[in-house]
Amino acid sequence: MWKDIDECLDTEINNANISKVVSKGSGDKVKGHIIGIALGIINSYVAIMERKSRKVLENVEGMRTMPSVVAFTKDNKRLVGMSAKRQVVTNP
């Protein structure tokens, strides 16, 4: 599972060479890459758009979606996704 969502996003964004996107109107062409983050009630995912191709990013377990859950342990460690969902019974 992602140990740190910020670390994962930074890594994927840097690997994709995300650049600034500027669009003034419907006739203008968008240059660079686009990142989309879908924050759902149950699951979330991150996708990038390169030229005309869409790619949903995978976590280290190969999953394309992650539970929309954030939790904190007793020692203030932040958990996200499946690791946060798994510990709900032991750390409500």
pLDDT tens for the 92 residues of the chain, in order: 444 444 544 444 444 444 333 344 445 565 666 888 888 889 998 998 877 778 888 888 888 988 999 999 889 999 888 888 988 888 77
The residue ranges of every structural domain in the chain are: 5-15+32-86
- pTM for this predicted structure: 0.54
Instruction: Return the CA Rg of the chain.
Output: 16
Q: Pick from 62, 59, 58, 82: which is nearest to 71 by CA?
A: 82
Instruction: Kindly state which CATH superfamily the domain 5-15+32-86 is placed in.
Output: ATPase, nucleotide binding domain (3.30.420.40)
